[in-house]
Copies of this chain bind each other. A is one copy, B any other.
Amino acid sequence: MLPRVTLDLSLSAADLTACLVDIESVSGNEQPLADLIADALAGLPHLSLHRDGNALVAQTVLGRPERVAIAGHIDTVPVAGNLPSRREGGVLWGLGSCDMKSGLAVQLKLAAGLAAPSRDITFVFYDGEEVEAERNGLLRLSRQHPELLKADFAVLMEPTGGVVEGGCQGTMKAEVRTTGERAHSARSWMGRNAIHAAAGILDVLRQYVPRQPVVDGLAYHEGLNAVGISGGVAGNVIPDECVVTVNYRFAPDRDAARAQAHLEEVFAAWDVRVVDVAPGARPGLDQPAAASFAAAMGGEPRAKYGWTDVARFDQLGIPAVNYGPGDPMLAHSRQEHVELAQIGQVEDRMRAWLTA
């Protein structure tokens, strides 16, 4: 029998991050890590614990006037030769070190250490964030146990480099299609080439000037890009269809309907089909809870360009921001790493705010 592994929450957040990285938890394989977190939290008498699959919710129930949710996903993208973790000077390398086991370590340290915070806290640890939306543990919790997620404000501990990143941009995937007429390629003039016609779509994309709107005081940066293209019937046939898949990243002053209307206008000459959409979230830094959090964390809040689960809290009517250790540019890269000092800094600031 193997010796029983446990998570030692008395370790520093930096050391705990290394432990968490070394427990592989690629999406779909979260159970061993969820079990360990559940065991560790079960030993904390000041927390009320709920489990749903591989998602865990641990709450203080102190009757404080305000409740904050502190959430993080426990899964990672696939292994890419970057396990186990490796420490070099003040840097920890390894899968998930940045996205987001350093954030998880901070959550666990706060959960273990704050028996009597000034705000009630709901810690959320969830599975399936790095894959398709239907597998997302936070979505599942919001459908099956919405009462567990009730809060006045939420912090998603995604990597933000230790700076508050407000809201998030929405993302829409659409197929833009050209049609033509098949013919034998030895007599190409008998047909109409749908791939050649796609040049018009690509020209629109090349000339597109993305908006950079300021929303609630933060500057967003949109983008409209081809992320796929396909066409062709056979090596000797003039193709009668070409599909350009575009990804529109839209600032949170636009909802899904307006984003779609924009694509239909930009690609008015072609058939446009939306295949996937996740609306963004306004930063909400004008709301008291978010503003006080941003002030306490220090630094100049900035916009979150990528889509994150803050949008899910937004849809539940809960203002939310992103805040965690780790450079977001390193997320999903083989070279993922995190500065250990930043983990401790984020932990200290969060603890100060939660006890003030």
Contact between A229 and B227, CB atoms less than 8 A apart: no
- Taking chain A's interface residues, is the majority helix, strand, or loop, or is none over half, making it mixed? mixed
Give the residues in chain B near A196, CB-CB below 8 Å.
202, 205-206, 225-226
Contact of A227 among B227, B230, B232 (CB under 8 A): B232
- Stretch in A58-66, A139-147, A187-195, A283-291 with 4+ CB within 8 Å of B: A187-195
Task: Count copies of this chain in the complex.
Answer: 2
Give the residues in chain B near A239, CB-CB below 8 Å.
226-228
Of chain B, the residue at the smallest CB distance from A201 is: B199
A244 at the interface (CB under 8 A from B): yes
Give the residues in chain B near A329, CB-CB below 8 Å.
187, 190
Place the interface of chain A in its size category.
35 or more
Contact between A234 and B230, CB atoms less than 8 A apart: no
Contact between A232 and B235, CB atoms less than 8 A apart: no
A57 at the interface (CB under 8 A from B): no
Interface residues of A in 20-46 (CB under 8 A from B): none
A173 at the interface (CB under 8 A from B): yes
- Measured CA separation A202–B239 after assembly (Å): 13
Contact between B230 and A235, CB atoms less than 8 A apart: no
- Measured CA separation A202–B196 after assembly (Å): 5
Name the distance in Å between A109's Cβ and chain B's nearest Cβ.
29
Interface residues of A in 200-256 (CB under 8 A from B): 202-203, 205-206, 221, 223, 225-239, 242, 244-245, 247, 249
Name the distance in Å between A91's Cβ and chain B's nearest Cβ.
22
- Measured CA separation A195–B176 after assembly (Å): 14
Give the 10 A-B residue pairs with the shortest CB-CB distance, closest first.
A228-B232, A199-B202, A186-B306, A195-B226, A188-B223, A186-B305, A185-B247, A229-B231, A188-B225, A196-B206
Q: Which A residues have a C-beta under 8 Å from some C-beta of B?
A: 169, 171, 173, 184-190, 193, 195-196, 198-199, 202-203, 205-206, 221, 223, 225-239, 242, 244-245, 247, 249, 276, 305-307, 329, 332
Known contacts A173-B235, A195-B205, A195-B226; can you find 19 more A-B pairs with CB under 8 A? Answer: A171-B186, A185-B225, A186-B249, A186-B305, A187-B221, A187-B306, A188-B249, A189-B223, A193-B225, A199-B203, A199-B205, A226-B239, A227-B237, A229-B229, A229-B231, A229-B232, A230-B230, A232-B245, A235-B245
Q: List, sorted by A's number, 28 A–B pairs whose CB atoms are closer than 8 Å.
A: A185-B225, A185-B247, A187-B223, A187-B305, A188-B225, A188-B249, A189-B221, A195-B226, A195-B227, A196-B202, A196-B205, A196-B226, A198-B202, A202-B202, A225-B238, A226-B231, A227-B234, A227-B235, A227-B238, A228-B232, A228-B235, A228-B239, A229-B230, A229-B231, A229-B242, A232-B245, A235-B247, A235-B276
